[in-house]
Amino acid sequence: MDPNTSNIFGVKSGINLTDIVNLNQNPFDIPKIVYPIVTSWNAFQKYLQNNDLVRNPSFNKNQIDTTKIINNYNDSIVDTTNPYTQKITQTDIIAAQTFHKINDSKVQIDGWVGSQTSQLKYPKPITFYSSIDPKSKNSPPVSVKGWLPTIWGNKRFVVDAQVITDYVKKGLYPPYSFLILYDENTHKDTLQTSFIPKEWYTLGQNVEVAKNAIQVDLQREVDNVKSNVNKTITNIKVRINSTIASNP
């Protein structure tokens, strides 16, 4: 699709789809229903990037091309025995576009795979610990108790060390439901500080720490209402000024 043509919903974008997207790094914006597909989606992104589709204007084409590349990926790359590689659908494309549009209004929600969509990776949790065998990714952490520091997008989380040990022994990563937003008052005393990376101290989340998911959603609704009110006031002022200008 040419940057200045209409998308499948008939909306003229007027946006350069090859621009770098300001990716959403807030994990609270990921709907829980999307959790199971996050790792698979990021694997799909790697596939697109390996095929030089990032910021490639020649790949903004049409629905036929999107269907073709999804089918090619699902048939040739996806291993159905691997829980981390599920088949990708067009619904997954729309979900990723919707997630990142929260942070960058230039993101188009059209369900197509193109140079813009091939940038849209989800933030993925990274838990920090020492392994018995540093060369093996599947080694369980050294026998420790307490909380292990985890960075997920732009937020600090913790996960119980025993949970990580149990899952890593199976070659798996624990479900996101085991991740707990870091609260200094609750987790500081048993946090394994020897594993904390420098990025931990640069994440700004003072407001988020004190909020639960419901409070965050409510705040977003309040912000949306304020935004809509401001837009309405602006529109009224424009109409008034237009009326005055036309009737001096």
Q: Please name the residue that has the structure tokens 């030089």.
A: 52
pLDDT digits (tens, 9 = 90+) for 83-122: 778 899 999 999 999 999 999 999 989 888 888 888 899 9
* pTM of the model as a whole: 0.71
How far is Cα 95 from Cα 115, in angstroms, rounded to an integer? 17
233 pLDDT more than 70: no
235 pLDDT more than 70: no
User: Is residue 148 helix, strand or coil?
Assistant: strand
Residue 211 burial by Cβ neighbours in a 10 Å radius (0-12, 13-18, 19+): middle
Percent of the chain with pLDDT over 90: 30
pLDDT digits (tens, 9 = 90+) for 131-150: 666 666 667 677 778 899 99
Q: Please name the residue that has the structure tokens 């990142």.
A: 100
pLDDT digits (tens, 9 = 90+) for 167-194: 888 888 888 999 999 998 999 888 888 7
List, in sequence order, every beta strand (DSSP E) within 98-170: 126-127, 147-152, 155-160
Residue 66 burial by Cβ neighbours in a 10 Å radius (0-12, 13-18, 19+): buried
Q: What are phi and psi of 78, to 5 degrees?
A: -65, 130
Give the DSSP letter of residue 122: P
Structure tokens at 161: 């060390």
CA 17 to chain centre: 19
* Res. 238 pLDDT band, cuts 50 70 90: very low
